[in-house]
Structure 1
């Protein structure tokens, strides 16, 4: 197996729902509060088992907002049963105190979406509460012991809005980010991974 953006891991990426609590400017899956499309758990479980049989050893869950998908813990448990590592990408706004407890032992890394400064983040998320609420929710994640970091989407609005690692304010001393080239037409972006110390 060749070394790539995900290291030597083969990652099964799933979007179990397009439902989301936000309508972000840069969302290429056209997810949002008024979209209610989800995949049934049996279908997702079958995909996980089949992928594991083909050599996939990691499951990445995004969306939509995965925390709005009730079967998320069961999906992660199915991946664990197959010996897979797991990641969940979230906007962080729904990480109430009970959420980390539901995910503990099921997720290896929680990736929180972050778009530069608080101002650029709010602009991209189209929600004035998006940055402050996400920042406040991180305390419960820290206390849970779940490893977490930040996913940074590079856009024409955020490319010059922050210096250094985008998560430096929220997680001093450690972290990662992934820069994604944004397509203004909404087509799936090309990804490039950059890890940095904050």
Structure 2
């Protein structure tokens, strides 16, 4: 997760950047979902049944803190399909863990909206384009209107609902419209995710955009982040799954604020780029623990081995290699002067294309001329 807006603000105002104190876990509590999204990494389905019991979840929550986890994103499938979702969240709070909700918004209603706002520190609602695009991409007509209604309902009741958007060939024509939508709705966060090849995202590898298109969009995101900062807008721009965006921001600072380049570079190195298996992890509905939601291998199963023993293990070769800083990455990464910043990008994409976890990220849009020492 790359917090562009926060880095711009804290660098220009000589403030401390927001940092994660501990790890953040994306926990898929269910594989049930009322939608059929083309990019879904968990291949969620409406006909699935919940396999995790509350008791299993409760016992695992007690182990999270020992494993250094302070934040949990509730995900799925659609997490609001679980009838015990609020009990799970309360158990998290009782154990000192912050809770975020990632939802399609279709189950947010006047009956539960206050409880959702009270329960979760942040609510992210997925919008993948203008109405026709979103409904097509999400596999259900009318989904867009319901999700927008959910955002407005949360705002009406005093809560904060941000928008999550994934860039693909199917959604890219709506890319610029997402910024207009955020400004129109006055949401204060837009999270823009780059595609990772896993789940249905792997099956639909052909829906990814080109490197040239990606650069164009990232440049626009950075332009907007500066625009929002300079105009005093409260819209927070964040990108995901493309740590090379940090290099683009650094190069922009060289042009706009050369006197602040060293400070930004220091912040970016402290951030450290891709954090899968270190400050980021994933837990699924079957008990599997992975370095990120898209990762091709598990590092343990919390229903068989206590979570903290898995996550703090010094004997797992994959975790040990992921936690090297910078990582030992092949290809053009081996000669890249920015490796300390991006940390080699997505290992999941590298494996999906090359079959080698430690090859270069195939979606890296930086040129050989840019990365050479």
TM-score (norm 2): 0.47
Structure number, greater radius of gyration: 2
Unaligned 5+ runs, structure 1: none
**Match of 1:92?**
105
- Decide whether the 8 Å contact of 1:152 with 1:166 is kept in 2: no
TM-superposition CA deviations, 1:102-134 (whole Å, max 9, x none)? 223220001001102222111101111100111
Is the alpha carbon distance of 1:165 and 1:20 closer, same or farther for their aligned partners in structure 2, counting shifts above 3 Å? same
Please tell me whether the aligned partners of residues 88 and 111 of structure 1 are also in contact (alpha carbons under 8 angstroms).
yes
Cα RMSD (Å): 2.5
What number of residue pairs does the alignment pair up?
190
- Does residue 185 in structure 1 map to residue 202 in structure 2? yes
The structure with the greater share of residues assigned to strand is 1
Query: Which residue of structure 2 aligns with residue 57 of structure 1?
Result: 70
Matches of 1:47 and 1:178, distance apart in 2: 30
Question: What residue is the counterpart of 2:190 in the other structure?
Answer: 176
- SS for the counterpart of 2:100 is strand
Q: CA deviation at 1:180?
A: 2.9
Q: State the Cα distance separating 1:92 from its structure 2 match.
A: 0.7
Q: Secondary structure at 2:194's aligned position in 1?
A: strand
Q: What corresponds to 2:83 in structure 1?
A: 70
Displacement of 1:5 in angstroms is 4.7
Q: Which residue pairs with 2:309 in the alignment?
A: none
1:5-61: CA deviation from partner (whole Å, max 9, x where unpaired): 584241122111111111111112111211223311111122222111222111111
> Could you list the per-position Cα deviations for residues 50-105 of structure 1 after superposition, in whole angstroms to 9, with x for gaps in the alignment?
11122211111110111101111011111111111110101011111112122232
Relative to its length, the structure with more helix (as a share) is 2
Deviation at 1:177, TM superposition (A): 1.2
